[in-house]
């Protein structure tokens, strides 16, 4: 749930499919251009996601707090390093649906494809792989226990874990 909360704000980006499919039609839908970084990137959606975690998690308080943290880490990451290819900063209307007056941007924001994002991604993937090798489970367990076991097995065969004797 915590992992999913860190990516769920970008569900509003799926509207790009409708926009691309209708771009040459007489009535194009500008759903992605108009709503990406709007519908899923705000306090109201954060509260819905947190409520889902509070309802379905076994460790309700811890999970809900971590869900809120990872959700907001996504928003901060967008603010810091997600400038669009056209230079648009995609301001985040954080207080929606309660108020549309706060539009968060940061003047130092770098582009989505700028080098810091590649460095951060490489470092985080390396840490995730090291943790998977050490702990015996990986992110793949979200989608498949079999794939997770095969991945960890391959990792441990290539880089054996030292065991205490
Ligand atoms: Zn986002």
pLDDT digits (tens, 9 = 90+) for 149-161: 999 999 999 999 8
Query: Which CB contacts under 8 angstroms, 24+ apart, belong to 76-80?
Result: 78/9, 78/37, 78/41, 79/104, 79/105, 79/106, 79/109, 80/106, 80/108, 80/109, 80/110
Please enumerate in sequence order all residues whose Cβ is within 8 A of that of 105, keeping only pairs 6 or more positions apart, or say none. Answer: 79, 89, 91, 92
Distance 22 CA to ligand 1 centre (A): 23
Q: Phi and psi at residue 111, in whole multiples of 5°? A: -70, 155
Distance 72 CA to ligand 1 centre (A): 10
Distance 135 CA to ligand 1 centre (A): 29
Distance 99 CA to ligand 1 centre (A): 19
User: pTM higher than 0.85 for the full model?
Assistant: no
93-119 residue pLDDT tens: 999 999 999 999 999 999 999 999 999
């Amino acid at each position: 749930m915590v992992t999913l909360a860190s990516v769920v704000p970008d569900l509003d980006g799926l509207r790009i499919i409708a926009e691309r499919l209708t771009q040459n039609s007489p009535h194009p839908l500008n759903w992605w251009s108009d709503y990406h970084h709007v519908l899923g990137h705000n306090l109201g959606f954060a509260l819905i996601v947190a409520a889902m975690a509070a309802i379905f998690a076994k460790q309700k308080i811890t999970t809900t707090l971590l869900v809120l943290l990872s959700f907001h880490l996504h928003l901060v990451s967008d603010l810091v390093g997600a400038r669009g290819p056209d230079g648009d900063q995609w301001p985040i209307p954080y207080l929606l649906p309660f108020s549309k007056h706060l539009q968060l941007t940061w003047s130092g924001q770098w582009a989505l494809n700028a080098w810091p994002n590649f460095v951060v991604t490489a470092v985080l993937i390396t840490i995730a792989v090291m943790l998977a090798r050490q702990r015996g489970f990986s992110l793949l367990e979200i989608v498949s226990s079999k794939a997770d076991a095969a991945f960890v097995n391959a990792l441990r065969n290539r880089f054996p874990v030292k065991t205490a004797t």
